[in-house]
Structure 1
Amino acid sequence: MVSPAIRVAPSAANRALNLLRTVQYTHPPNCPCHKNPNHHHNHQQTPSLLNHVKRRMSTPVDRSREKEYAFEMAASSIRFGPGATKEVGMDFTNIGAKRVCIVTDSNVAKLDAMKQAVEGLTREGIQFTIFDKVRTEPKDSSIKEAIAFAKPYKPDAFLAVGMRRLCNRHCQTNEPIHRLPRSRLPRLRQRTLRQRPAGRQTPPPLVAVPTTAGTGSETTGTAIFDLVSKKAKTGIAHRNLKPTLGICDPLNTRTMPSAVHAASGLDVLCHSLESWTAIPYNERTPRPTNPINRPAYQGANPISDIFSLAALRSTVKYLPRAVRDPEDHEAQSEMLLAATLAGVGFGNAGVHLCHGMSYPISSQNPGYKHAGYEVDHPIIPHGVSVAVTAPAVFRFTAASNPDRHLAAAEAFGVDISNVKRESAGEVLGAAIAEFLATLGDQPRGLKDLGFKAADLDGLVDGTIPQQRVLMLAPSLSKELEAEKGELRKLLEQSLDY
């Protein structure tokens, strides 16, 4: 565990820089020409009819600069409890499914979670087929292979059993969701399903059964994969990608090796930290002209904050225990719950820099293979690729909201009573670095993954396209060249820590 009283002595230059940035973000100057537009006192009010009259409509309103004024709460139905997997067959009967495509990988296919799922479907007399070739850290080729397998079968529902969720709601067709004709969509009878926001189209029901405690994909609307041609991971995000039901059975995570416990738990850690520190929802632009266009990642909001901070505290407490002791079933269960809580938090608020930079880190892997993963190819587990930049990231973002970063440091056990606000980033960065070190068997920077200084420009180029998450990053410049410079500096600082 982290020492309860971390004290950091940054250099004079760093102290001066942190102080200037904190002043910039928390005490903007009175001059309207030089105000910090991101400061919470500088919110632009929605133009009223009176304002339009006063302006006499002399200039058009720039909708792209209008800030958001609302947030939405959306999450999958969640069932949590040991042994809950055995109910999955009845769930498909309840929604009227007749033909189910089970999507999993070759390792999970051998586990008890799959046995329980197959037995449940068989008891209910539901036809099913199994696609067990999902790749750990999937590539775009994995999606194409799954589509080719599932499309001829014409399933009316999907069951995802296992680690990271492939974009399996696209498996029955090559067409994007918004183009699916309603005639090809199943008629759902269960009341809870009818209440789901349909958007323009409603995809087939999906029941997700996680076997790791990390991604929170049982409640999120995001599917991540490696886009090989761009040398970076990317994601598809939409509210309608959220599973119909997530079955979180703590018995299913007991088979995880220690290394997988650690790596998947680090994803929970960064989900929590990033959603807790993302820009506020009412700072996001542009405001949607129709609520159906409001993005899944909205920025930090009062509801997501509750889930994110609770998940952070649980992860700090229980992840080291789950990694150290394979028989600590309480810690394993609490980490599965933390993953789900974090999924609700970041699934509505979003993530930012750690995840944005993690995608090219994983995709441009110079040959690193993380211990404890039974795969025949080099792999940087997602949680590892996310956490490796975390100390640098939260030193950088702290000036945007020192109090929130100090609250995060306190969750790590730091006594913040005498910490100056301009030191928030140094304190939180040090707390994260110490947590990673004490967890054990974690790379101490990009160098341990095999990256060199010469690789940084490629990592920057792979990060820039991730605007889905970068738009939520506090403190990050909106001007391209400045943004590239800031990202490169963060990656330089992450080479070693």
Structure 2
Amino acid sequence: MSLSPAIRIARTAAQRSTSLLHAIQYTHPPNCPCHSNPNHHHAPAVFGEARRRLAMPVDYSRQKDYAFEMAASSIRFGPGSTKEVGMDMTNMGARRVCVVTDSNVAKLNAMKQTIEGLETEGIEYTIYDKCRVEPKDSSIKDAIAFAKPYQPDAFIAVGGGSVIDTAKLMNLYTCYPDADFLDFVNAPLGKGLPISKKLLPLVAIPTTAGTGSETTGTAIFDLVEKRAKTGIAHRNLKPTLGICDPLNTRTMPGAVHASSGLDVLCHSLESWTAIPYYERTPRPTNPINRPAYQGANPISDIFSLQALKSTVKYLPRAAKDPEDHEAQSEMLLAATLAGVGFGNAGVHLCHGMSYPISGQNPGYKHSGYQIETPIIPHGVSVAVTSPAVFRFTGASNPDRHLAAAECFGVDISNVKKESAGEVLGEALADFLVKLGDQPRGLKPLGFTKDHIDGLVEGTLPQRRVLMLAPNLSEEVNQEREQLRGLFEEALEY
């Protein structure tokens, strides 16, 4: 009986992990097989070669990395678990807590449960409830200015990814009170300095099922002056604990369920198809400089593929039926699984291209979001380019793209490998159309061909994710043309 690509890859991942343990026993490395091959290029090899590569001795003359690290927050999952957060603060030794939320979530049961838990334990607290959906550098700075003089000994974030990301940065700059704001911001927009010390305890209580921010060391915001989204990424930024309570996502409107779920979809697909960790350059001179986003690896693969399967199965149900609590719970779990996957493997083109899409919004306001200002929800901005992106990346690793297409229910038994990208792109487009109420390309968001140059220039600085993109050129002019082609193709589907 033949095995599906997903099973073959999962089995290969397990074999690669075993091979890696054997690889460290070698002491006399041979010539590097990549640099000794004049036909080698830096596009990722088919993952079927991974076992052979990892079984080889380490070549210490290489500039590519040879290791990956796994880091994720501790996770507690279960309905009603929010009420335990006061006891968690006591267990962590916290007596003065800054609770971070937004004006809408402040009225919900998740906040009520949090405050009751703190008061039961006799813990002093203050509430910052001015977090902005899709935060800007100005809103982040306002939150930091609130936290610094209060001098908390712990933070609790109650809300979606925007709230959790804001709390991460409040924590960071409270612990580094003299730092310039751009010191830790991802290069080249900021200095990209590593976070060299442990931060205060942070408990994240997500009220949406999408970002996976409760598991990761990443915080994203708009840098308005540069008209681009950027962020800060480091393992020390991740929450101490994520409390994933399915009861807290029941208040999400259908539109928020859909857009949040699309973020999970792209997290899982991008981390599953990112270049492998051993193709990433440069190798860090010190492990503290090894990035959080490292490339696909045998452990992240397990989380990413399961998150993809769950999202395809449960997102349509969660978006269409507000009473389908099973689907909502499964999507919260999928978001957390995807967070562990992409938080260590990284994302690539969909996210890199999404940042200028959100930052250069011509005026689009997504239905179902209870805010007055124009907004392209993050999940929408990443998914809108996905059919074009995965057509483009398909040739880098046909087996992976076919395994992903199979998760959408595609019969891949007779599909040629050279068609892998096209097949996955079509499966994605079909899924998005059937999900309903989703813009079918950039045109419905208000973008035209005249906007493409600005979108390309807004994507180019996103080096931390673009470096993980399969098939993307390392030569900037060619990379610019590839991105232009992707944006043109993404105008409509």
- For the aligned pair, the TM-score class normalised by the smaller chain equals 0.7 to 0.9
The answer to whether structure 1 residue 148 and structure 2 residue 145 are counterparts is yes
Partner residue, 1:459: 455
CA distance in 1, matches of 2:292, 2:316: 31
Q: Is the 8 A contact 2:44 2:397 kept in 1?
A: no
Which of 92, 103, 108 is equivalent to 1:95?
92
Q: Given residue 38 of structure 2, which amino acid in structure 1 is its aligned partner?
A: C
The answer to whether structure 1 residue 490 and structure 2 residue 490 are counterparts is no
Cα deviation, residue 47, structure 1: 4.1
Q: For the pair shown, which has the larger CA radius of gyration, 1 or 2?
A: 1
CA distance 1:38–1:244, change in 2 (3 Å): same
The answer to whether structure 1 residue 33 and structure 2 residue 29 are counterparts is no
Partner residue, 1:307: 303
Cα deviation, residue 431, structure 1: 0.3
CA distance 1:290–1:133, change in 2 (3 Å): same
Q: Alpha-carbon deviations, 1:66-119, whole Å to 9, x = none?
A: 111111111100000000000000000000001100111000000000000000
Q: Given residue 340 of structure 1, which amino acid in structure 2 is its aligned partner?
A: T
Which of 395, 399, 403 is equivalent to 2:399?
403
- Say which structure, 1 or 2, has more relative contact order (CA 8 Å, 6+ apart): 1
Which of 95, 110, 117 is equivalent to 1:113?
110
Partner residue, 1:437: 433
Q: Alpha-carbon deviations, 1:351-386, whole Å to 9, x = none?
A: 000000000000100000000000110000000000
Cα deviation, residue 235, structure 1: 1.3
Q: Alpha-carbon deviations, 1:30-66, whole Å to 9, x = none?
A: 9943333435369697446xxxxxxxxxxxx6xxx61
Secondary structure in structure 2 of the residue aligned to 1:428: helix
Which of 339, 343, 347 is equivalent to 2:343?
347
Q: Given residue 71 of structure 2, which amino acid in structure 1 is its aligned partner?
A: A
Tell me the C-alpha RMSD between the 2 structures: 2.1
Q: Is the 8 A contact 1:143 1:166 kept in 2?
A: no
Q: Given residue 124 of structure 1, which amino acid in structure 2 is its aligned partner?
A: E
> Counterparts in 2 of 1:413-424, with a 5 A limit?
413-424=409-420
CA distance in 2, matches of 1:174, 1:213: 27
Partner residue, 1:449: 445
Q: Given residue 464 of structure 1, which amino acid in structure 2 is its aligned partner?
A: L
Which of 199, 210, 213 is equivalent to 1:214?
210
The TM-score, its normalising length taken from structure 2, stands at 0.86
Q: Is the 8 A contact 1:177 1:203 kept in 2?
A: no
Percent identical: 74
> Counterparts in 2 of 1:152-167, with a 5 A limit?
152-164=149-161, 165-167=164-166
> Counterparts in 2 of 1:336-375, with a 5 A limit?
336-375=332-371
CA distance in 2, matches of 1:464, 1:306: 30
CA distance 1:39–1:383, change in 2 (3 Å): closer
Secondary structure in structure 2 of the residue aligned to 1:166: helix
Partner residue, 1:69: 66
Q: Is the 8 A contact 1:99 1:127 kept in 2?
A: yes
Q: Is the 8 A contact 1:207 1:245 kept in 2?
A: yes
CA distance 1:467–1:37, change in 2 (3 Å): closer
CA distance in 2, matches of 1:326, 1:136: 22
CA distance in 2, matches of 1:429, 1:172: 40
The answer to whether structure 1 residue 252 and structure 2 residue 248 are counterparts is yes
Q: Is the 8 A contact 1:178 1:200 kept in 2?
A: no
Secondary structure in structure 2 of the residue aligned to 1:78: strand
CA distance in 2, matches of 1:354, 1:378: 21
Q: Is the 8 A contact 1:169 1:203 kept in 2?
A: no
Partner residue, 1:7: none
Q: Is the 8 A contact 2:135 2:166 kept in 1?
A: no
Instruction: Report the more deviating stretch, 39-48 or 438-447.
Output: 39-48
CA distance 1:174–1:79, change in 2 (3 Å): closer
CA distance in 2, matches of 1:138, 1:488: 27
Cα deviation, residue 166, structure 1: 2.8
The answer to whether structure 1 residue 377 and structure 2 residue 376 are counterparts is no
Q: Given residue 166 of structure 1, which amino acid in structure 2 is its aligned partner?
A: D
Q: Alpha-carbon deviations, 1:248-274, whole Å to 9, x = none?
A: 000000000000000000000000000
Partner residue, 1:325: 321
CA distance in 2, matches of 1:432, 1:84: 35
Secondary structure in structure 2 of the residue aligned to 1:134: coil
Q: Given residue 241 of structure 2, which amino acid in structure 1 is its aligned partner?
A: L
Secondary structure in structure 2 of the residue aligned to 1:128: strand
Q: Given residue 206 of structure 1, which amino acid in structure 2 is its aligned partner?
A: L
Cα deviation, residue 288, structure 1: 1.2
Cα deviation, residue 178, structure 1: 10
CA distance 1:441–1:431, change in 2 (3 Å): same
Q: Is the 8 A contact 1:155 1:172 kept in 2?
A: no
Partner residue, 1:243: 239
Q: Is the 8 A contact 1:170 1:176 kept in 2?
A: no
5+ residue gaps in structure 1?
A: 1-27, 49-60, 181-197
CA distance in 2, matches of 1:173, 1:32: 45
CA distance 1:358–1:30, change in 2 (3 Å): closer
Secondary structure in structure 2 of the residue aligned to 1:287: coil
Cα deviation, residue 294, structure 1: 1.0
5+ residue gaps in structure 2?
A: 1-32, 180-193
Partner residue, 2:14: none
Q: Is the 8 A contact 2:405 2:424 kept in 1?
A: yes
Aligned residues: 438
The TM-score, its normalising length taken from structure 1, stands at 0.85
